[in-house]
Amino acid sequence: MTLDPTIAARLERNDAGLVAVVAQERGTGDVLMVAWMDDEALARTLETRKATYYSRSRQQYWVKGETSGHTQYVHEVRLDCDGDTILLVVDQEGAACHTGTHTCFDSDLLLADNLLVADD
pLDDT exceeds 70 at position 3? yes
Min mean pLDDT across 7-21, 30-44, 98-112 is at 98-112
The CATH fold assigned to 5-92 is: Ubiquitin-like (UB roll) (3.10.20)
Please give the model's pTM, rounded to 2 decimal places.
Answer: 0.90
Task: Encode pLDDT of 18-67 as tens digits.
Answer: 999 999 999 999 999 999 999 999 999 999 999 999 999 999 999 999 99
Residue 10: helix, strand or coil by DSSP?
helix
Question: Is 37 in contact with 18 (CB distance < 8 Å)?
Answer: yes
Work out the average pLDDT over 85-90: 98
What type of residue sits at position 103?
T
Question: Is 73 in contact with 34 (CB distance < 8 Å)?
Answer: no
Predicted local confidence at residue 107, as pLDDT = 86
